[in-house]
Amino acid sequence: MTGIALFPSLSIYTMEPQHAQQHTNSSPGGNRPCNKRKEYLSWDEYFMSVAFLTAMRSKDPSTQVGACIVNADQRIVGVGYNGFPSGIPDEALPWDKTSPEGFLGTKYPYVCHAELNAVLNKNVESCRNCRIYCTLFPCCECAKVLIQSGIQTVVFASDKNRDEDVCKASKRLFELAKVQMVNYRPEFPELALSLRYPGDNVAAAPAVTARPLPTLTAPALESAADDRDAKEPRGKKGRGPNAGENGDVMLA
């Protein structure tokens, strides 16, 4: 990993694609050939893919964000995506980024971020010494939650809001709290996920009929929002405390 200085004492590391470890084509005893599959996902590919897959649960029409918390034993202990608090119908509050009614007419006061939900959804007592995989770099409010929960490493796919003050504040907080920041760079931009095995009888009536899902593509999840953001006046925009997805929130 390579350190990139953004502030006088701030370093963000770049995580290059990790390939499967090379092994000899023999068993430990040396008598039988080893036919282990070589095209399996690395841990980082797997956990970041889980974060992007989790993001597809988001109802936000602008940008869908996902997060996946992993412990030292490579076990997933929490996942989350951006959305309204539990018990509130998705149709009860606005999903708009701007509104004639002002701040209260937008989604920003109401949406919980993916990172916050991942911490709250944890299935262990503590997130201490865990790492979190985020599809988007956390805002400063989520940074506080991650630091307080004891997370030691933040692995993020996109840093497109890096020029916003709320993201600069996150980096400053992480640096002071000695939380490592790692920019994940995938070898391939997308992962095609098949929901059937070869040989399945596609003519047979399935027990559950699922609608077609789009290909899991990292750039695609943010490209549409980028296009919309480019057409909107920036004003005093950034990723604020309650920004629901990529943080384009009108700051008070």
Query: By three-state DSSP, how is residue 7 classified?
Result: strand
CA distance 239 to 249: 6
Partners of 122 in the β-ladder: none
Residue 12 backbone dihedrals phi, psi, to 5 degrees: -120, 135
Please report where in the chains the tokens 């005893």 appear, as a residue: 29
Q: Which amino acid is it at 56? A: M
Instruction: Report the length, in residues, of the chain.
Output: 252
Q: Which position among 45, 91, 115, 190 bears the catalytic label?
A: 115
CA distance 231 to 240: 20
**Residue 115 annotated as catalytic:** yes
**Measured between alpha carbons, how far is residue 7 from residues 135, 153, 172, 177 in Å?**
23, 18, 8, 15
Which residues are annotated as catalytic? 115
